[in-house]
């Protein structure tokens, strides 16, 4: 009797983790389609970023107070996480949205797992597997289809560079997510929830200097924004970005990682790009050509292979980004992006993402 019921609990835990990972991917994927109408209504991309981070930071203040010891224990980690994983990713991603379609911006951002492997290979000077190289080639070829290089790069060049900037900031996100997680520095691994909370607060301070919210067109928030011709209160979109696409996305992502393996959670998080593209298609009328959809699928396949391919270990030490050993047992520093979004434990943590970031 006991033996027959024993596997039920792990199955329920895994089922709950998978459900939460799907919810996190959906939440992060909705950030872009909700932010773009606000930008088109008159808000600057940097101001939309500030609203997202400010709102989420206020909601997570209780977590910041609970883990206030991190300020003394890990000041460098919190500063770097706030600058790259929060401020950098979000600012670049939302700025890209003002110039190129949501799906394209997010797909370019999904080159981050590929760039992480480049960091491991050329900066850390550690060998990577052949399968990881295959993932890199697939991702680059898929991106060529997305931007249709044979047409002379018809997409806005500045928008693509901004999306690539978001991907580069995601690399910092992965590297910092792995920092101190193995405990080899003799200190207790940082609590992921605390790092998320203080990362948002740090990012908010940085963004306040550059975004200058006192110059924001605050009257836009009292008006309407257009979702492919349908008027929606701007505050409703802001509420979605803050509560769903940031707070709920991060928290569900962190919890899901603790119930799933990093590889499974990372694969599910790859759905963020698909969800964002579909939502942009339905809500914003952003139609991608068949070759772009094919290229997007190839990009995701390349990212999937890259993040599943663990860099070869030298002393059984974890490596930032992708791979079975890259996330501590109690979860990564943050839940997915990487807009936010967001990014997965083994590639783009469920994350600010979004980026999906």
Integer Cα distance of 173 and 322 in angstroms: 12
109: left (phi over 0), alpha (psi -120 to 50) or beta: alpha
Which helix (H) or strand (E) segment holds residue 157: the answer is: helix 157-178
Do residues 316 and 309 touch, judged by C-beta distance below 8 A?
no
For residue range 230-262, list pLDDT tens digits in order: 899 999 999 999 999 989 887 887 777 666 654
Tokens linked to 207:
């963004």
- At residue 315, does pLDDT exceed 50? no
Does pLDDT of 332 surpass 60?
no
Dist. CA 145–CA 273, nearest whole Å: 16
Please state, in angstroms and as integers, the Cα–Cα distance from residue 247 to each residue in 52, 81, 220, following that order.
10, 16, 23
Res. 204 pLDDT band, cuts 50 70 90:
very high
Name the pLDDT band for 54 (thresholds 50, 70, 90). very high
Beta bridge partners of 224: 233
Q: What percent of the chain has pLDDT above 90?
A: 18
- Quick check: 302 pLDDT over 60? yes
At 208 the pLDDT is: 93
> Tens digits of per-residue pLDDT, 135-193?
777 877 887 787 666 665 567 888 889 989 998 887 776 677 555 445 555 667 777 78
pLDDT for the residue 317: 44
In the numeric block, the tokens 């909601």 are attached to: 59
The CA–CA distances, whole Å, from 69 to 63, 66, 78, 251 equal 11, 8, 12, 20
**Helix, strand, coil content of the chain in percent (nearest 5):** 65, 5, 30
């Amino acid at each position: 009797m006991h033996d027959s019921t024993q596997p039920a609990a792990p199955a329920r835990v895994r089922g709950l983790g998978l459900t939460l990972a799907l919810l996190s991917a959906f939440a992060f994927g909705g950030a872009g389609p909700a932010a773009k109408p606000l930008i088109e209504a008159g808000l600057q991309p940097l101001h939309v970023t500030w609203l997202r981070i400010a709102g989420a930071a206020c909601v997570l203040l209780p977590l910041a107070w609970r883990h206030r010891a991190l300020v003394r224990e890990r000041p460098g980690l919190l500063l770097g996480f706030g600058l790259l994983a929060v401020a950098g990713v979000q600012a670049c991603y939302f700025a890209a949205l003002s110039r190129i379609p949501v799906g394209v911006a997010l797909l370019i951002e999904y080159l981050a797992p590929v760039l992480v492997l480049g960091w491991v290979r050329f900066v850390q000077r550690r060998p990577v597997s052949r399968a990881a190289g295959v993932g890199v080639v697939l991702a680059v070829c898929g991106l060529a289809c997305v931007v249709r290089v044979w047409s002379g790069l018809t997409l806005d060049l500045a928008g693509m560079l901004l999306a690539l900037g978001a991907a580069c900031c995601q690399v910092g996100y992965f590297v910092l997510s792995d920092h101190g997680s193995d405990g080899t520095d003799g200190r207790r691994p940082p609590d992921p929830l605390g790092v998320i909370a203080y990362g948002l607060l740090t990012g908010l301070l940085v963004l306040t200097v550059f975004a200058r919210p006192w110059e924001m067109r605050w009257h836009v928030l009292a008006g309407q924004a257009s979702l492919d011709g349908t008027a929606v209160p701007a505050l409703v979109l802001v509420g979605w970005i803050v509560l769903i696409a940031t707070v709920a996305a991060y928290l569900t992502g962190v919890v899901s990682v603790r119930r799933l393996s990093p590889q499974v959670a990372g694969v599910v998080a790859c759905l963020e790009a698909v969800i964002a593209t579909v939502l942009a298609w339905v809500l914003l009328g952003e139609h991608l050509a068949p070759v772009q959809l094919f290229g997007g699928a190839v990009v995701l396949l390349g990212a999937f292979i890259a993040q599943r391919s663990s860099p070869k270990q030298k002393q059984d030490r974890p490596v930032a980004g992708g791979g079975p050993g890259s996330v501590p047992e109690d979860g990564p520093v943050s839940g997915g992006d990487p807009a936010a979004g967001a990014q997965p434990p083994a590639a783009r943590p469920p994350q600010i993402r979004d980026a999906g970031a």
